Structure 1
Amino acid sequence: MRNYFSVGSVLFSLALSLVLSQSVWAGIIAERNRIIFPEGVDEQDLMIANTNKYPIIVQTWIDDGDVNNTPEKTEAPFVVLPAVFKMNSNDAKGLRIIFKHQPLPDDRESLYWLNIYEIPPQHKSTSNNTAELVVAMNTQMKILYRPTALINQKVDLLSSLQFSIVKDKQDIMLNATNPTGYYASFSSLKLLINGHEYKSEQKLDMMVAPKSTEQFVFKKLSAVSQGQAINLSFMLIDDLGHSHQGHRKNL
């Protein structure tokens, strides 16, 4: 899942820096971290809960994952109901995700994103020495449409992925190729060189689409790897959100 936040209606004061220095987390918690939509299923339910200590307004929509999308601009083969609603603190709510039966590829998964946009209440400031920070948080959750042809296949995604490295003057690029019809989602990618671990640069989506190649960058490692064996350790996320470890030797 991905989280974004926007800030509005701020009264600047000394207290503002203290507020901004704290981590911002979504208060909406969902029962799953992704939704698998098999071909032939018309709709699915998703339970969400408001863990904030205050009521919020929630807006929902489904899009292709562009963070600049708004509900008015989006086009997707799914619709989510209700679109706008209020949740009190500790409330739970069921969402309905409905497939509109638009044509989608039958040899690979199709990826869309459920947006859960939470808006907290805005209170009037009572003093010139206090700061008010309104944070609207958007949580994005994957919706993976899975055609029947894939459902009937038995594919070991962990062993099917192919990796190679490319060096330049400073960095190492790891090419990850996914020959299957499934999306491959990583929680981590590490190179093991001379007994030391090095993590890849973080990307917005650590995924490789079906039948495609994605590149991951390891900064300033080209000199470190000269004459050394390079091994790979990675964690692959399954349908339930669990991670499974994989290895490749001597890349």
Structure 2
Amino acid sequence: MLLVFMLSADASASVTMLGTRVVYPADAGEQILRFSNPDDHPNLVQLWLDDGHAARSDGLASPFLVIPPVFRVEPHGGQVVRLSYVGDALPQDRESLFFLNFLQVPALKAASVNDNQLVLTVRSRMKVFYRPAALAAEADAARAPDALSFAIELGDGAASMVVRNASGYHLMVQQADLLLGDQRQVLARTTVIQPFQELRWSLERMPADLAGMRMQLRLLNDVGVEVQRDYPVR
């Protein structure tokens, strides 16, 4: 009997892709993705993309084409995959976000298929940013956090931090803290602020004195490096 279990992206996957995200320039004919297998045994991998809402794994809901969509990676070997955008035109004033999924399962020998085994299938998930030509400059992407602003609003007896992103970029927040003196209040962890989005983070407590208050964000840049930024609060 063959037992197959699927684990989430938090599971330890052997086959890995170079990089922590994919930035796909709109004027690129294709993007090259590189996978490696550090294991002593081969692994099978299936790839597909979705827009964050589709759960299907056949790729039919995706505007991207991946070649090859299924492949075998030999022990300590690698695989090159070509990613191409083949869908309709997307907004040109902001990034569009998709997700690359890769499902990995160890390759079994034909003689062992009927043996009692536990096979762990691992699904990993990575963000893909489709970046229009108007936003393609690396310097502009590096300045995108400058477009964030923060203000406290009161309503219905509760306080919230209003966050505004005036840029066309997705901003990846590892952690957002409200600071006042030596006091720290965590408002968000591992979240995405979308282009031109306004959102609200609830405050557990409203500081009595707003002077000197600031927001401190730990952000991930295009290459997955964490950058710390401080912002005034209005």
TM-score (norm 1): 0.74
1:51/1:90 contact within 8 Å kept: yes
Equivalent of 2:103 in 114, 117, 122: 117
User: Which residue number in structure 1 is paired with residue 126 of structure 2?
Assistant: 141
Unmatched segments (≥5 aa) in structure 2:
none
Partner Cα separation in structure 1 for residue 208 and residue 136 of structure 2: 44
Shift in Å, 1:83: 1.0
1:33 matches 2:20: yes
Any idea what SS the aligned residue of 1:182 has?
Answer: coil
Question: What is the aligned-residue identity percentage?
Answer: 25
Equivalent of 1:214 in 186, 199, 214: 199
Higher strand proportion: 2
Report matched runs for 1:35-50 at 5 Å: 35-50=22-37
Partner Cα separation in structure 2 for residue 190 and residue 134 of structure 1: 42
Shift in Å, 1:45: 0.5
2:162/2:201 contact within 8 Å kept: yes
User: Which residue number in structure 1 is paired with residue 73 of structure 2?
Assistant: 87
Q: Deviations over 1:103-137 (max 9, x none)?
A: 11111111111111112357744xxxxxx653322
User: Which residue number in structure 1 is paired with residue 184 of structure 2?
Assistant: 197
Shift in Å, 1:9: 4.2
Partner Cα separation in structure 2 for residue 60 and residue 98 of structure 1: 13
Unmatched segments (≥5 aa) in structure 1:
1-7, 11-19, 126-131
1:76 matches 2:62: yes
Q: Deviations over 1:123-162 (max 9, x none)?
A: 744xxxxxx6533222122221111222369642122111
User: Which residue number in structure 2 is paired with residue 151 of structure 1?
Assistant: 136
User: Which residue number in structure 1 is paired with residue 232 of structure 2?
Assistant: 249
Shift in Å, 1:69: 1.1
User: Which residue number in structure 2 is paired with residue 3 of structure 1?
Assistant: none
TM-score (norm 2): 0.79
User: Which residue number in structure 2 is paired with residue 16 of structure 1?
Assistant: none
User: Which residue number in structure 1 is paired with residue 46 of structure 2?
Assistant: 59
Partner Cα separation in structure 1 for residue 167 and residue 56 of structure 2: 32
1:231/1:248 contact within 8 Å kept: yes
1:99 matches 2:85: yes
2:174/2:189 contact within 8 Å kept: no
Any idea what SS the aligned residue of 1:149 has?
Answer: helix
Any idea what SS the aligned residue of 1:200 has?
Answer: strand
User: Which residue number in structure 2 is paired with residue 179 of structure 1?
Assistant: 166
What's the C-alpha RMSD, in Å, of the aligned pairs? 3.0
Partner Cα separation in structure 1 for residue 158 and residue 43 of structure 2: 45
Partner Cα separation in structure 1 for residue 189 and residue 75 of structure 2: 33
2:187/2:202 contact within 8 Å kept: yes
Partner Cα separation in structure 2 for residue 215 and residue 135 of structure 1: 39
Q: Give the direction of change, closer, same or farther, for the CA distance of 1:170–1:92 in structure 2 (3 Å limit).
A: farther
Partner Cα separation in structure 2 for residue 213 and residue 228 of structure 1: 22
Q: Give the direction of change, closer, same or farther, for the CA distance of 1:101–1:170 in structure 2 (3 Å limit).
A: same
Shift in Å, 1:43: 0.5
